Amino acid sequence: MKPSVKKKILISVTNDIAYDQRMQKTAYTLQKSGFEVHIVGRLKDRDSSVDLDSSIFTSHRFQMFFQRGKFFYFEYNLRLFFYLLKRNADIYCAVDLDTILPNYLVSKIKKKPLVYDAHEYYTEVPELEGRIFEKSIWKWLEKLTLPACRSIYTVSNSIALRFESEYRKYIEVIYNYPLRSIRNSQIVKENVILYQGDLNEGRGLEIAISAMDDLYGWKLWIVGDGYHKGVLEEIANGIQNTDSIEFLGRKTPAELKILTQKAKFGINLLENKGLNYYYSLANKFFDYIQAGVIPISMDFPEYRRIQDQYNCSILIPSLDKALYIKALEEVIANENKYHDLLRNGDIAASFLTWENQEEKLSSIYNNV
């Protein structure tokens, strides 16, 4: 249902929009529903030549002086506040806590509604583990701003239930499903285990890399970038089968789609370190399924729920190298099991699509 008057939604993220699939899908859906969408983010690579489709949404990407840490957040939030203050919108949307303060202040000043899109259970991210003071600041900010939000939505049932319990507000769930796509029949599957996403701590990549010494005949493709990349490269250089590992850098959604279809397995491993990871339901998990790739994930509540319904992935009970290798080898050695998981994944892929989320997402903004 399209709004009777075309409303402008201004969305803020700290990511580079060119590589953010969820933001691009969100903009596509809202534009199709009759909204005008403008997204503010940052330019991670100053030499980036990736252009954004201005026919779907307009955008602005800050070139940041600081790239991470407290100075990054201070710089970004200060610049974002003045940017939002100078621009009019009917609805302001903050993606995660690291953009919410400027949106909260400007929505108060301009008396416009604020929407919160929680991609993370931010106060429980691993980076805040053991950092009591920093965590208390983010929690204070959450308690200050979330009650003022006209609407809140997030990526998993578990996170939604936590927010509902704490803030006594209804939380909608917009899953990180991919757009329905037709696979390229010309792409030949290779003996590839693929990881896509940020190269941060707690993603199980150390185990995946060291395991390649036991997985001869297979390659590990690591697609993405992040602060932990240097450490991972050192680990890769230290194993015997180092030629089996390729760091492919960041890719656009279109490039990533082609790469993913070439793989047989997709890594979605997380250390059980904080509720953000434990309650996660990552977009890469669904991207793998849509591409005909079998996900290797943790036996956490949201992944278990999908597995119980479709039996289309490999789940391991803990982040352990021996368990990871054993789970993989059991499927590699059993062709029937591999093809059963693929067939079940095809069934799941027909249901777990972004198109099935669009009506819910449009309804959230139509009712703000």
Candidates 196, 245, 237; CA nearest to 218 is: 245
Q: Where are the domains of the chain?
A: 8-177+354-366, 192-351
What pTM was estimated for this model as a whole?
Answer: 0.88
The reply to whether 192-351 shares the fold of 8-177+354-366 is yes
Contact 312, 294 (CB under 8 A): yes
Q: Please tell me the distance from the alpha carbon of residue 52 to that of residue 233, in angstroms, as a whole number.
A: 31
Write the pLDDT tens digit of every residue in 282-316.
Answer: 999 999 999 999 999 999 999 999 999 999 999 99
Residue 127 has pLDDT above 80, yes or no: yes
Residue 6: pLDDT band with limits 50, 70, 90: confident
Q: Please tell me the distance from the alpha carbon of residue 31 to that of residue 56, in angstroms, as a whole number.
A: 6
Residues in the chain, overall count: 368
Q: What number is the average pLDDT over the span 72-91? A: 96
Residue 129: pLDDT band with limits 50, 70, 90: confident
In this structure, of 52-66, 200-214, 223-237, 258-272, the range with the lowest mean pLDDT score is 52-66
Task: Say what the pLDDT of residue 116 is.
Answer: 98
128 vs 263 pLDDT, higher one: 263
Query: Phi/psi at 293 (nearest 5 deg)?
Result: -115, 135
Q: Please tell me the distance from the alpha carbon of residue 204 to that of residue 188, in angstroms, as a whole number.
A: 27
User: Which tokens in the block code for residue 259?
Assistant: 């790469």
Residue 201: pLDDT band with limits 50, 70, 90: confident
Residue 141: pLDDT band with limits 50, 70, 90: very high
Contact 335, 305 (CB under 8 A): no
Q: What is the 3-state secondary structure (H, E, C) of the chain?
A: CCCCCCCEEEEECCCCHHHCHHHHHHHHHHHHCCCEEEEEEECCCCCCCCCCCCCCCEEEEECCCCCCHHHHHHHHHHHHHHHHHCCCCCEEEEECHHHHHHHHHHHHHHCCCEEEEECCCHHHCHHHCCCHHHHHHHHHHHHHHHHHCCEEEECCHHHHHHHHHHHCCCCEECCCCCCCCCCCCCCCCCCEEEEECCCCCCCCHHHHHHHHHHCCCCEEEEECCCCCHHHHHHHHHCCCCHHHEEEEECCCHHHHHHHHHCCCEEEECCCCCCHHHHCCCCHHHHHHHHCCCEEEEECCHHHHHHHHHHCCCEEECCCCHHHHHHHHHHHHCCHHHHHHHHHHHHHHHHHCCHHHCHHHHHHHHHCC
User: Which tokens in the block code for residue 305?
Assistant: 């729920």
Residue 126 has pLDDT above 90, yes or no: no
Of the candidate CATH numbers 1.10.3720.10, 3.40.50.2000, 1.50.10.20, 3.40.1190.20, the domain formed by 192-351 belongs to 3.40.50.2000
Q: Please tell me the distance from the alpha carbon of residue 251 to that of residue 257, in angstroms, as a whole number.
A: 9
Candidates 287, 310, 335; CA nearest to 25 is: 287
Angle made by CA atoms 119, 273, 15, in degrees to the nearest 5: 30
Residue 50: pLDDT band with limits 50, 70, 90: low
Residue 3 has pLDDT above 60, yes or no: no
Write the pLDDT tens digit of every residue in 169-178.
Answer: 999 999 999 9
Q: What number is the average pLDDT over the span 215-235? A: 94
Mean predicted lDDT score pLDDT of the chain: 92
Task: Say what the pLDDT of residue 117 is.
Answer: 97
Write the pLDDT tens digit of every residue in 24-45.
Answer: 999 999 999 999 999 999 987 6
Q: Please tell me the distance from the alpha carbon of residue 221 to that of residue 193, in angstroms, as a whole number.
A: 6
CATH 3.40.50.2000 assigned to 8-177+354-366: yes
351, amino acid identity: F
**How many other CB atoms are there within 10 angstroms of residue 306's CB atom?**
21
Task: Say what the pLDDT of residue 46 is.
Answer: 61
User: Which tokens in the block code for residue 67?
Assistant: 């790239």
Task: Say what the pLDDT of residue 273 is.
Answer: 83
Please report how many Cα atoms fall inside a 13 Å half-sphere around the Cα of residue 255, on the Cβ side.
12
User: Which tokens in the block code for residue 219?
Assistant: 């390659």
**How many other CB atoms are there within 10 angstroms of residue 210's CB atom?**
17
Q: What number is the average pLDDT over the span 259-268? A: 96
Q: Please tell me the distance from the alpha carbon of residue 11 to that of residue 89, in angstroms, as a whole number.
A: 10
As beta bridge partners, residue 266 has: 194, 295
Could you tell me which residues come within 8 angstroms of residue 250 by beta carbon, excluding any fewer than 6 positions away? 19, 44, 45, 223, 224, 225
Give whole-number Cα distances, 363 to 3, 10, 171, 256, in Å.
Answer: 10, 17, 13, 30
